[in-house]
Amino acid sequence: MQKLWSQWRSTGQVSLRAAGRALFALAAIYTCAAAIFTGVLLSKIEREARFTRETQIPLILSQTRNAVKAERMASLVRAIYLARDRRLERQVQLQIQALAQGFPFDAGDRVVAGSKRVAILAKEIAAARQQARDSGAQNTTAFTFEERATAAYSEAIKTVDEMGKELSGDAALAADKLAEEIQSGAARTRFTVLLTLLMPGLFCIVLLWLARRHLAKPILSAIANLNRINDNTATVAPRSRPILTELAMIGDAVRSYGETATELRRKNVVLQALAEEDPLTGLANRRTFENFLKASLADGSRLGGTAVLMIDLDHFKSINDRYGHQVGDQCLQSLALVLLSVDGLSKSLAARYGGEEFVVVYNAESEKQALVDAAFLCRRIEATRIPLEGEQSMTMTASIGVSFTSKNDAAEMGDLISRADKALYLAKSGGRNRAISDHSAYAKGHVSRAGGKIIR
């Protein structure tokens, strides 16, 4: 516990192992203390029960027996007073003396003295009766002896009543003391049992609260940050740092991982763009074009077929030589904008194939429609103006080779590109600034001319 406290004071945190050891120590201390306290209390109750059985209960029984003796003595006093026979009086007197001698010393001094007094008064009653009988006809003397017997009888009965009250009071006092001790022991036992049962419950409540605040909450916060990382959102730092060192390290690691993942995603986006896009024009690069064309040929749901337009800027080397590479780059970028701005091409992709060559792949209804689309591109390209220094500008033209395959044909990607390239060669050798299909379209007259000068 001292190590845990010093760790808390120095760093404001505690390790999970130290917290577990502290909780284990507290549970062990409480268990030992509860066992010792309960054992001491039960031992005390056992001693009190033994004392009650060996001392108090026999005392109550003795007082009860003495009360019975007192009642018996009262009956004998009445018997000797009512008796008219000398022999009977003698027998009763002897019984009273025997009872008087049978009271133990623990019955109390007043009871013992009262029993002896009753025996003396019984003797006086018997003596007065005998004197009355011996007086014979002398009525006055006999009456006097009878009065003496009556007075002794009254005093004896009174003494016996006082003895009974004394014995009853002692028995009631002993019984009340016994009941009070039993009640006190029951109260102590009840308090001990309630305390023993209540403390673990309170400990569990406090432990659950601590676990929810300092264990579950940091874990849920780390899980929430992991979900944020999965959703590509920023992680959130907790309002207060977890007390447990291990959970604080986990939270820091998750947030650090989130920052690293965000940086990796950003770099992956850049790398993906570099891998799929042409850095100068922003169009797809050659690899992306080939993957797209392969997927298009494998798509059985496409309408009509797949068309490939191979586009090459006319006299691009002359443009670079005359105006410089910066103007040449502007021409490439302008051509890319023209290709991106064309509407109505189903599932199309424009890409830079290499150098001044571009390519467009899309789903066309027919080869004839693809040739019409290519001629439209030639006119759009020729209509594009490239600004020069001052107020001058220039235009450019492009030659386009068209290849087409329907969805029912089993054309290969390489074959389709090769056919488009051959058609492009025919367009360039036929005078440039035109679109030609690969199926001997030049010989058949399927040529779309878009005349105009290259430079103005």
pLDDT of residue 444: 40
Residues 385-413, mean pLDDT to the nearest whole number = 87
Of 24-33, 78-87, 142-151, the poorest mean pLDDT is in 142-151
Coil, strand or helix at 219:
helix
Reported as a pLDDT band with limits 50, 70 and 90, residue 136 is low
Q: How far apart are CA 109 and CA 170, in angstroms?
A: 12
Cα dist from 93 to 124, 331, 385, 431, 447, whole Å: 10, 154, 158, 169, 165
Q: Which residues pair with 362 in a beta bridge?
A: 307
Which of residues 24 and 119 earns the better pLDDT score?
119
- What is the CATH code for 2-206? 1.20.120
Q: Which residues contact 432 (CB under 8 A, 6 or more apart)?
A: 314, 315, 397, 399
Per-residue pLDDT tens for 274-305? 677 888 998 999 999 999 999 888 877 777 88
Looking from the CA of 385 toward its CB, the CA atoms found within 13 Å total 7
Q: Quote the strand ranges of 355-453, DSSP E.
A: 357-364, 385-387, 393-395, 398-406, 434-437, 447-449
Instruction: Please tell me the total number of residues recorded for the chain in this structure.
Output: 456
Does position 434 have pLDDT exceeding 90, yes or no?
yes
Mean pLDDT taken over the chain: 80
Cα dist from 398 to 353, 380, 428, 452, whole Å: 14, 10, 9, 11
pLDDT of residue 421: 94
Cα dist from 19 to 154, 193, 200, 215, 367, whole Å: 85, 29, 18, 11, 78
200, two tokens = 């673990």
Q: Which residues pair with 313 in a beta bridge?
A: 398
Q: Are 377 and 342 in contact (CB under 8 A)?
A: yes
% of the chain at pLDDT higher than 70: 87
Which of residues 104 and 144 earns the better pLDDT score?
144
pLDDT of residue 275: 72
Per-residue pLDDT tens for 46-57? 787 787 777 777
pLDDT of residue 270: 67
Does position 108 have pLDDT exceeding 80, yes or no?
no
Using alpha carbons, select from 66, 77, 93, 99 the residue that is nearest to residue 156: 77
Of 109-118, 130-139, 331-340, 412-421, the poorest mean pLDDT is in 130-139
DSSP string, 145-178: HHHHHHHHHHHHHHHHHHHHHHHHHHHHHHHHHH
Per-residue pLDDT tens for 212-261? 777 778 888 888 888 888 888 888 888 777 777 777 788 888 888 888 88
Q: What region does 24 belong to: left with phi over 0, alpha with psi -120 to 50, or beta? A: alpha
Of 10-24, 113-127, 358-372, 426-440, highest mean pLDDT: 358-372
Q: Are 109 and 65 in contact (CB under 8 A)?
A: no
Backbone angles phi, psi at 307, to 5 degrees: -115, 140
pLDDT of residue 357: 94
Task: For CA atoms 199, 204, 207, 213, give the dihedral sign.
Answer: negative
Per-residue pLDDT tens for 378-391? 999 999 999 988 77
Which of the 8 DSSP states describes residue 376?
Answer: H
Q: How far apart are CA 29 and CA 105, in angstroms?
A: 52
Exposed/middle/buried for 240, CB within 10 Å: 0-12, 13-18, 19+? exposed
Per-residue pLDDT tens for 254-270? 888 888 887 787 777 66
Of 90-104, 125-139, 419-433, 440-454, the poorest mean pLDDT is in 440-454
pLDDT of residue 450: 41
- What residue spans define the domains of the chain? 2-206, 286-449
pLDDT of residue 78: 86
Of 72-86, 176-190, 215-229, 339-353, the poorest mean pLDDT is in 176-190
pLDDT of residue 442: 40
pLDDT of residue 141: 63
Residue type, 86: R
Residues 69-98, mean pLDDT to the nearest whole number = 83
Q: Are 297 and 405 in contact (CB under 8 A)?
A: yes
Residues 313-342, mean pLDDT to the nearest whole number = 92
359, two tokens = 């390519």
What is the architecture, at CATH level 2, of domain 286-449?
Answer: 2-Layer Sandwich (3.30)
Residues 180-193, mean pLDDT to the nearest whole number = 77
Coil, strand or helix at 74:
helix
How many secondary structure helices (H) and strands (E) does the chain include?
14, 8
Using alpha carbons, select from 44, 174, 156 the residue that is nearest to residue 108: 174
pLDDT of residue 27: 79
pLDDT of residue 449: 41
List the catalytic residues.
356
Residue type, 415: D
CA triple 354-356-360, angle to 5 deg: 70
Which of the 8 DSSP states describes residue 14?
Answer: B
